[in-house]
Structure 1
Amino acid sequence: MPRRVRTALVAFLATILGVVLVPATAAQAAGENYVALGDSYSSGVGAGPYDLSGCFRSQKSYAPLWAAANAVASFRFAACGGAVTADVIGGQVNSLSSSTTLVTITIGGNDAGFADVITSCRFGSTSSCENAVNQARSFATTTLPGRLDATYAAIRARAPQARLVVLGYPRLFETGWCGWLAMSSYKRTILNGAADLLASVIANRAAAAGATFADPRGDFTGHGVCAADPWIRDVSGVIEAYHPDADGYRYGYLPALNRALS
């Protein structure tokens, strides 16, 4: 039956029976028991202001924004700035239960040495940047997959009925001219390439775990560091450097999550 005819028939039957039709996605969201896990890219570092947990959780991160927009039944915000996979397995999963219906997470960047790589490239020589990036790439392809598998398995064990959405990381940089004091275009290019490799690894392991991968890279395109309208912070703050600002979470991450859940 053609889709248009089927839609019209359903609407007609609903009218006859007095049934109020609610889109499935809206109905599901209203009943969600949602738990947000992960690192700084989930806790909202860069968006501010932060709670007093020490985890730099911001209500401007994509997770509380989605929870508020969809009137979920419950929301637990366990993500914590600086988290690695061991932190999720050893602590954050305690926020999950058999009644959890939705879990989101960003994780893996800190395991791969995100902060050290950025520091080497921002303040070090080209060769030190290359070495740091190559070490991170090697880690991402050899050690990280096993850590991700263990993390997703721990989530499944605690919340067996939940949908699991694994969000990736954006490319941090635009590669055009950015001033004399900026990181070189070459450094920015190899860092973006490392981000693409990390996305590939995370997407692959998420698929193996039966999770949905939400890729924000396209949403952030044109809004990296050195853009006219950046959604990624540069070195304006030690904690917040190279994290999304409030626009990045709202217009970069949130649309990616919405697509994954549609």
Structure 2
Amino acid sequence: MSTAPRRWTRALTTALWAAAVLVTGPTAASVAAQGDSAPAKATNAAATRGHAGEPAAYEHYVALGDSYTAAPLVPQLDIAGGCYRSTNNYPSLVAKALDITTFVDRSCSGAQTKDMTQSQLPGVAPQFDALTPDVDLVTVSIGGNDFTVFGTLVGYCPTLRASDPTGTPCRDEMRSDGRDRLLADVQQTRERVSAVVAAIRERSPNARIVVVGYPQIAPRQGTCPDRLPLADGDVRYAVQVNKRLTDALRQAAMSNQADYVDVWSASRDHDICSTDPWINGQYTDPSRAQNYHPFANEQVAVAGLVEDLLR
């Protein structure tokens, strides 16, 4: 990753949270952001807890993830030590729908895979601290912030549009050294997410593990520079990176015999440019969603996918 995108992303992170800080108080950090396939079968005991025709019952659920799990600014907002977590994000909806006795949500905006085992923010414990042997359900969605992949796509790449509005200035810069830096970073992300899933199983060996993929952010066809200000040719590049990222999560789930929730397929025709978007565009709406982050309807849809898998 070139140093220019990294510097720009740090500046973007501060700007992204300015609106949230004005509305809610303390400071924080953010930035986050997918595979067509049937869910991988889980082999642990929790996966087969229910009898034939009966839903499996879960008593101790832990949710792990980044801002696509935390859902910053989706009402109602819990500052959560700087993690900016919605009380109506998909883990909260799942816990309510399944009447789960003990629910712990450790998702945090801006989280990377490293934040599973180290403190992301002062006073915020590593997400893995919530994992114990008695946990019987874990959902996890992580990886979009590693190597600033998501921040580069929605933060740095739009600044290149003016140089070539109908071309592919972002893709060209990412390939300037002879390889595609973003796609190479995503490949390393797959290995990191796989290690995260394996470590969850070590800490909570009786848990059913569900890896939740990312949604489609950019449209497969067309552009909408007022909402997603990428150069016209870079919209297709964003779809490629977005898809490769969610494939990385799917592969990490399959390689560890975990379940996978295919949000990518479910979110088709709900990209930023669509008439029924699940993801907010470039402008933060303090009453609905952080820019480039899920609306409440996306969280409801993802919760439904998870519930369907678990029932």
Same fold, TM exceeding 0.5? yes
Deviation at 1:130, TM superposition (A): 4.1
1:165 aligned onto 2:210: yes
Q: Which residue is 1:127 aligned to?
A: 169
Unaligned 5+ residue runs, structure 1? 1-20
CA displacement, residues 129-162 of structure 1 (integer Å, 9 cap, x when unaligned):
5434832211112x22331222112211211100
Q: Which residue is 2:54 aligned to?
A: 24
Aligned 1:159-198 pairs, distance under 5 A: 159-174=204-219, 175-178=221-224, 182-198=229-245
CA displacement, residues 93-125 of structure 1 (integer Å, 9 cap, x when unaligned):
110111100000110110142112221222224
Q: Which residue is 1:100 aligned to?
A: 135
**Which of 224, 236, 240 does residue 290 from structure 2 map onto?**
240
1:78 aligned onto 2:109: no
State the TM-score, normalized to the length of structure 2. Answer: 0.70
Deviation at 1:195, TM superposition (A): 1.2
1:151 aligned onto 2:201: no
1:225 aligned onto 2:261: no
**Any idea what SS the aligned residue of 1:37 has?**
strand
Q: Which amino acid aligns with 1:241?
A: N
**Which of 139, 151, 155 does residue 115 from structure 1 map onto?**
151
Whether the 8 Å CA contact 1:42–1:62 is kept in 2: the answer is yes
Q: Which amino acid aligns with 1:76?
A: V
Q: Which amino acid aligns with 2:310?
A: L
Greater displacement, 240-249 / 120-129: 120-129
Whether the 8 Å CA contact 1:57–1:79 is kept in 2: the answer is yes
Whether the 8 Å CA contact 1:104–1:166 is kept in 2: the answer is yes
Q: Which residue is 1:257 aligned to?
A: 306
Q: Which amino acid aligns with 1:116?
A: T
Q: 1:256 to 1:44 in 2, by over 3 A?
A: same
How many angstroms apart in 2 are the aligned matches of 1:201 and 1:138? 12
Q: 1:204 to 1:233 in 2, by over 3 A?
A: same
Whether the 8 Å CA contact 1:46–1:241 is kept in 2: the answer is no
Whether the 8 Å CA contact 1:213–1:260 is kept in 2: the answer is no
Greater displacement, 202-211 / 180-189: 180-189
CA displacement, residues 160-185 of structure 1 (integer Å, 9 cap, x when unaligned):
10000001111102232436684344
Q: Which residue is 1:16 aligned to?
A: none
Whether the 8 Å CA contact 1:43–1:55 is kept in 2: the answer is yes
Greater displacement, 75-84 / 236-245: 236-245
Whether the 8 Å CA contact 2:60–2:136 is kept in 1: the answer is yes
1:51 aligned onto 2:63: no
Whether the 8 Å CA contact 2:64–2:106 is kept in 1: the answer is yes
Whether the 8 Å CA contact 1:171–1:224 is kept in 2: the answer is yes
Aligned pairs, how many? 237
Q: Which residue is 1:7 aligned to?
A: none
**Any idea what SS the aligned residue of 1:139 has?**
helix
How many angstroms apart in 1 are the aligned matches of 2:182 and 2:59? 36
Q: 1:161 to 1:130 in 2, by over 3 A?
A: farther
Q: 1:140 to 1:178 in 2, by over 3 A?
A: closer
Q: 1:129 to 1:121 in 2, by over 3 A?
A: farther
- Tell me the percent identity: 30
Q: 1:179 to 1:124 in 2, by over 3 A?
A: closer
More helix by share: 1
Deviation at 1:55, TM superposition (A): 0.5
**Any idea what SS the aligned residue of 2:85 has?**
coil
Deviation at 1:88, TM superposition (A): 1.1
Whether the 8 Å CA contact 1:116–1:132 is kept in 2: the answer is no
Q: Which residue is 1:42 aligned to?
A: 69
Unaligned 5+ residue runs, structure 2? 1-50, 119-125, 162-167
